[in-house]
Every structure is written in C-alpha cells, then in structure tokens.
C-alpha cells in the first residue's frame, strides 16, 4: 500500500528489535529492518521475509546509512546489550552509541522522521536512589568495564536531545529496564537465559555475589506496548519502561529451579566490578503520560519464556556464540 507508514528499525534481528518488527508489521507499517548480525540472528525475523511490507538491510549503522524513499519513524535499537557482548566488543559498543546515533539522527533530519532511541536503566549505573526515576542523573563509573555501554547510552541521550533542541527534531528516549522473553540468546550473559540454560543443561545455577542484588523483570510484550505508546506520544524527555516488581537474584534462582523442576543447586561466584546492587524502575511518568503499566506477571512470563527455551534443539542449548567477533576487534 502506497500510504503505509515506513519505519526503520536498527538492531532488528536482535531480541527486542525482532519483537518490534513483529509489532509494526501487525500495525500495517512498511518495516525496514537493519542489522550487522554481530549479535543479532536472522532466524528471529526470517518469518517476516516473505511479506511484501518487510525488507532487510545487512548493514552496520556506525557507517553511513542510506535508505531510499520516505521514512516516518526511526527506532535506533542497535547495540550489544549484555555484559558478555560489550566486554568482547567494547569499541563497537561505543561506536554504535556515538557514530550510530549520529548517522540515525542525520537520516531522521533529512527524512523529517521521528527518531526514538533505546536507552537503558544502565544510565543510572549502580544507583544511590531507589527506585530510579527519570530525574536521577545516575552513579556511573565511566572507565570501569561496564562504562563502554553505560556511557555510550548516556552520550546517545545527550546527542538525541541536542538534535531535538538545536534542529527541532522530533525525538523519543525510552529507558529500558531488564526485559525477558522468547528469542533471548542463551549465552549472552544475562541472568534469566543463563539460569534457564543452566537448568536445561543440568548444570548448577551460578549466582554472582551473595545474591542480594535485585532486578526487576519486564516481559517483552509489555515492553513493546510501552515503546509503541511512547513513540505515538509527543513526549521528548526520557521515560522509564520496565516492571517495578523487584526480586533478589538468589530468590530468582529459586524461582527458576521451581519452574524447571530441576534438582541443581545454586553456586556463588565473585560479583563483577560495578555490577548494580539494585534495579527497580519508577514508572510514574509512563503511567501518567502513556497510561501504561505492565500486565504480564513474572510467573506467566517465565512460563512462556521457558516454553520457548524448551523448544530449542540440544545443539542450540549447547551452542556457544557463533558470531565472528574476531573480525570486529581492533577496527
């Protein structure tokens, strides 16, 4: 259809990006998916390839972006998003949050498109306030091992606001808290797929530190709904999207053991440097501005996610990251 709205989604073959592709296809948009496949997987979006209103660009957004035709929206969701990824490819993590956002902003300006960036709860660092609201400026170590991700996202927010204030570009900033659901990579280092993968492989569950640190997990369908509502709003400042139902990592490990019916024990290892002790979103702004709050409880979300991971083949369960990280190193 000639009058379809057109949206570019970067990082489209990743966990969140692929679910966003599904949502905007459902909303009858023409979706242009872009990913360099360092951490994304084509199988996350291969079901969309036969559609006439879907196209895929294999491209690194840190390089100049050309998309022919009109664009109504750009969602910049390209970035390594787990500790294992951004510790393996720190330079690329910084580049996608700096060069990548600059390229996306330039494209949005040229096309007259609305641009949304995927920011993160990591902009708050290891927080000194609890829960975290959007007016908290954060407690981040810029030169620590997590700094490449935290500061890339903080720079991305600053660059986006500069284009908004100086060029009048219509922008959105979503600060995403811990999210889970189907299509997560088992070996990406995040706690939920790590626990479920260990349980399915018959391994003990590894908790870092004493397990007292907390996280708040949002099911992916809820997150996508919040992102969609924010994009359709006219609000330009950051908005937290996440589930405030907080749980300690040790209690979460016990929930996974009960869910999977396994008999493994929990083992404890040293807490990584600068690992946040608490993570809980204040979603007052999202409730008031967007009429949004999460609907899927953790028990139901975990059941759906576990069903997805149980459907994987033994080869997929034991698969190590197959991406050719080496070719991106030192570039």
pLDDT band at 324 (very low <50, low <70, confident <90, very high): very low
Question: What's the fold here for domain 6-317?
Answer: Rossmann fold (3.40.50)
| pLDDT for 169 beyond 70 | yes
Q: 238 by DSSP, 3-state: which? A: strand
pLDDT at 330: 37
CB 172 within 8 A of CB 101: no
Catalytically annotated residues: 149
- Which pair of structure tokens corresponds to residue 265? 């024990």
pLDDT, tens digit, 9 for 90 and up, residues 12-63? 999 999 999 999 999 999 999 999 999 999 999 999 999 999 999 999 999 9
- Which pair of structure tokens corresponds to residue 162? 């500069």
pLDDT, tens digit, 9 for 90 and up, residues 171-209? 999 999 999 999 998 887 788 988 998 888 888 898 888
pLDDT, tens digit, 9 for 90 and up, residues 204-225? 898 888 888 889 999 999 999 9
| pLDDT for 244 beyond 50 | yes
* CA–CA distances in Å: residue 60 to residues 125, 164, 165: 27, 24, 27
Using CA atoms, how far apart are residues 325 and 3, in angstroms rounded to an integer? 40
pLDDT at 320: 61
**In the predicted model, what is the mean pLDDT of residues 85-95?**
91
């Amino acid at each position: 259809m000639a009058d379809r709205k057109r949206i570019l989604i970067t990082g489209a073959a990743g966990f969140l990006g692929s679910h966003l592709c599904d949502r905007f296809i459902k909303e009858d948009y023409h979706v242009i998916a872009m990913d360099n496949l360092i951490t994304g997987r084509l199988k996350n979006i291969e079901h969309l390839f036969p559609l006439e209103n879907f196209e895929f660009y294999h491209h690194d957004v840190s390089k100049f972006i050309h998309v022919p035709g009109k664009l109504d929206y750009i969602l910049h969701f390209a970035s390594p998003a787990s500790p294992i990824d951004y510790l393996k490819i720190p330079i690329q993590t910084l580049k996608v949050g700096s060069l990548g956002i600059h390229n996306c902003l330039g494209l949005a300006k040229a096309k007259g498109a609305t641009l949304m960036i995927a920011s993160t709860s990591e902009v708050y660092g290891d927080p000194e306030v609890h829960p975290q609201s959007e007016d908290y400026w954060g407690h981040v170590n810029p030169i620590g091992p997590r700094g490449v991700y935290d500061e890339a996202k903080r720079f991305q927010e600053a660059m986006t606001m500069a284009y908004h204030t100086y060029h009048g570009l219509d922008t959105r900033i979503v600060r995403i808290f811990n999210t889970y659901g189907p299509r997560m990579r088992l070996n990406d280092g995040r706690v939920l797929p790590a626990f479920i993968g260990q349980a399915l492989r018959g391994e003990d569950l590894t908790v870092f530190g004493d397990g007292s640190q907390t996280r708040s997990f949002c099911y992916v369908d809820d997150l996508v709904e919040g992102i969609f509502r924010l994009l359709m709003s006219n609000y330009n400042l950051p908005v937290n999207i996440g589930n405030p139902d907080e749980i300690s990592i040790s209690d979460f490990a016990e929930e996974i053991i009960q869910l999977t019916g396994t008999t493994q024990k929990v083992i404890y290892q040293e807490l990584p440097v600068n690992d946040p002790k608490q993570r809980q979103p204040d979603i007052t702004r999202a409730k008031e501005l967007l009429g949004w709050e999460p609907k899927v409880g953790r028990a139901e979300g975990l059941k759906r996610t576990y069903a997805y991971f149980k459907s994987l083949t033994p080869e997929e369960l034991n698969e190590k990251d197959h991406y050719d990280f080496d070719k991106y190193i030192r570039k």
